[in-house]
């Protein structure tokens, strides 16, 4: 361990609520065991929230969830759906028992709801997967051999890494929107099958950046792909919690996304789109369910979603995802209005703090989700995130956010533009959403301003395995196990 020589105001006090009344212990067993439902307000759907969390100076504060880009708390409606389906749970398909019939009906209805959520066409396939990474990798395994894949290096690793090295064409991290569009078009033009006689290319693009929150112009990108005979996969993991998407009207071929970023953290995602490639490929998970008939002479595989859903599926996760999709469809207008206010407060607040640098990929004025990546001059990003948690009860994320090439480019370019000789190696990401209130954002801005002005209020040490830790921390990290 190495000491961080910044702050020295270490406190040990009787734990107190945020209204300054003393309490016994840091958190009661009941508080730790039982989450509460937070009605955020303004017609927004309720979320399951943890309530009060302890700070290093002994207070109990309302947890400020500013890590939505990593994962989201469950909708209360999702939690109720999970409880309901658990009561009648059985394995799906082929079972004649009543519970199996009920569970099969729930599972297939969930598939229909997921398809409806993204505007699936009548002949599209909805394959239920574990998450976005699983969905993108499934498509990568199904592409015909030699399919050229165009992907920007600004993508999340889930969309950047699954492709065959011999076939992938990486577009360097762009400096601006126009740079991105021109570079993508140049790459697609060189692969146009009407000129080369080769396979039909695939363009892979995010709906929204998980680092900066900026929304990609999907209509323009799909149009570029169509002009050059290419198909399109949209990684919508960061988009769909904030904006709607319609495959049919957009004209994209596939979309991949995860429930855990849509307030359904129960282990299910989806790949939705064209069936031709999926039906022609070998099963992703060979086994029961994926096979239509097995004889001594060989195997006849199922077609449609079943072909790639071998084994017993995560029915509970599918129902949770469907409940989240239905909830977001019904509350889309309220969600967008709430998040527009969060975004304005978050962006303006952080940009206005001396010593704080915020980062943009495609241009500062581009429409964005409530996500801001920033650094504080002179402070390690991991220390900033630790101090926000320990001293203020704020959850953010520090690092490179599974988008190493993009974060490296943003930090390097900003340092060069401002004449600094050394760039930071990591950043902090604050990402708001339905569970975040304007008061949470204000607390973050106030806390970041204090850190930028005078550093942490207590002394921290760095542990190679666990990162930055308050040197003297009265909080007991041992909590009752949920089981």
Burial class (CB in 10 A: 0-12, 13-18, 19+), 481: exposed
* Confidence label for 36 from pLDDT (cuts 50, 70 and 90): low
The model's pLDDT over 99-151, given as tens digits with 9 standing for 90+, comes to 999 999 999 999 999 999 999 999 999 999 999 999 999 999 999 999 999 99
Can you give 148-182 as a three-state secondary structure string? Answer: CEEEECCCCHHHHCCCCCCCEEEECCCCCHHHHHH
What's the pLDDT score for residue 25? Answer: 37
What average pLDDT does the structure give for the chain?
A: 91
Counting Cα atoms < 13 Å in the Cβ hemisphere of 178 gives 0
Q: Is the dihedral of CA 317, 121, 253, 138 positive or negative?
A: positive
pLDDT at 13 over 60: no
Distance CA 349, CA 353 (A): 7
Domains of the chain listed by start with CATH number: 2-72+332-470 (3.90.1150.10), 88-330 (3.40.640.10)
What pLDDT, in 10s, does the model give residues 71-85? Answer: 999 999 999 999 999
Q: Are 15 and 59 in contact (CB under 8 A)?
A: yes
Locate all alpha helices (DSSP H) within 192-302, ordered by sequence: 193-196, 218-227, 247-250, 275-280
pLDDT tens per residue across span 401-452:
999 999 999 999 999 988 888 899 999 999 999 999 999 999 999 999 999 9
pLDDT at 17: 45
The separation between CA 38 and the C-alpha centre of its own chain, rounded to angstroms, equals 21
Q: Which phi and psi angles does 254 have, rounded to 5°?
A: -140, 155
- Kindly give, in sequence order, each residue whose CB lies less than 8 Å from that of residue 387, ignoring residues fewer than 6 positions away: 447, 451, 456, 457, 458, 460, 468
Condensed to tens digits (0 to 9), the pLDDT of residues 272-284 reads 999 999 999 999 9
pLDDT computed for residue 39 by the predictor: 62
pLDDT at 40: 61
Judging by beta carbons within 10 Å of its beta carbon (0-12, 13-18, 19+), is residue 246 exposed, middle or buried? middle
What average pLDDT score do residues 319-347 get?
97
316: exposed, middle or buried (C-beta count within 10 Å: 0-12, 13-18, 19+)? Answer: buried
Question: What does 78-134 look like in DSSP terms, one character per residue?
Answer: HHHHHHHHHHT----SS--SHHHHHHHHHHHHHHHHHHHHTT--TT-EEEEESSHHH
Query: Which string of DSSP letters, residue by residue, matches 301-363?
Result: E--GGGGG--SS--HHHHHHHHHHHHHHHHTHHHHHHHHHHHHHHHHHHHHTSTTEEE--SS-
Check pLDDT > 60 for residue 342: yes
Tokens found for residue 121: 């066409």
Does residue 22 register a pLDDT over 50? no
pLDDT at 11 over 70: no
β partners of residue 358: 374
């Amino acid at each position: 361990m190495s000491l961080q020589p910044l702050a020295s105001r270490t406190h040990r006090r009787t734990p107190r609520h945020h209204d300054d009344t003393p309490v016994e212990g840091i958190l009661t067993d009941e508080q730790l065991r039982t989450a509460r439902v937070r009605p955020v307000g303004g017609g927004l759907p309720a979320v399951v929230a943890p309530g009060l969390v302890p700070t290093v100076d002994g207070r109990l504060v309302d947890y400020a969830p500013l890590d939505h880009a990593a994962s989201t708390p469950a909708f209360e409606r999702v939690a109720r759906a999970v409880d309901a389906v658990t009561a009648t749970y059985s394995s799906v398909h082929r079972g004649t028992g009543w519970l199996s019939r009920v569970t099969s009906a729930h599972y297939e209805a969930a598939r229909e709801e997921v398809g409806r959520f993204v505007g699936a066409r009548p002949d599209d396939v909805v394959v239920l997967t574990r998450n976005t990474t699983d969905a993108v990798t499934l498509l990568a395994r199904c592409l015909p051999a030699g399919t050229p894949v165009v992907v920007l290096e600004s993508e999340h690793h889930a969309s950047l890494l699954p492709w065959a090295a011999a076939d992938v064409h990486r577009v360097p991290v762009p400096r601006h929107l126009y740079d991105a569009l021109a570079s993508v078009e140049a790459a697609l033009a060189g692969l146009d099958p009407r000129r080369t006689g080769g396979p039909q290319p695939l363009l892979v693009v995010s709906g929204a950046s998980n680092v900066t929150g900026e929304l990609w112009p999907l209509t323009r990108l799909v149009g570029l792909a169509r002009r050059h005979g290419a198909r399109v996969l949209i990684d919508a993991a960061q988009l769909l919690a904030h904006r709607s998407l319609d495959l049919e009207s957009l004209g994209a071929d596939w979309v991949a996304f995860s429930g855990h970023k849509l307030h359904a953290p129960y282990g299910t995602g989806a790949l939705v789109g064209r069936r031709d490639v999926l039906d022609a490929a070998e099963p992703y998970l060979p086994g029961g369910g994926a096979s239509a008939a097995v004889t001594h002479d060989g195997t006849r595989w199922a077609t449609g979603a079943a072909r790639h859903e071998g084994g017993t599926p995560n029915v509970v996760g599918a129902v949770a995802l469907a409940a989240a999709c239905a909830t977001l469809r019904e509350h889309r207008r309220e969600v967008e209005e709430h998040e527009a206010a969060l975004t304005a407060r978050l962006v303006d607040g952080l940009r206005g703090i001396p010593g704080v640098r915020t980062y943009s990929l495609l241009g500062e004025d581009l429409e964005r989700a409530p996500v801001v990546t920033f650094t504080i001059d002179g402070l390690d990003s991991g220390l900033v995130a630790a101090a926000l948690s320990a001293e203020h009860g704020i959850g953010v994320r520090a690092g490179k956010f599974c988008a190493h090439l993009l974060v490296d480019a943003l930090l390097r370019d900003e340092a060069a533009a401002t004449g600094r000789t050394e760039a930071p190696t990591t950043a902090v990401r604050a990402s708001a959403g339905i569970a975040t209130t304007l008061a949470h954002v204000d607390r973050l801005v106030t806390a970041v301003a204090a850190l930028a002005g005078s550093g942490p209020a207590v002394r921290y040490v760095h542990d190679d395995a666990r990162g930055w830790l308050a040197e003297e921390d009265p909080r007991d990290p041992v909590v009752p196990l949920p089981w």
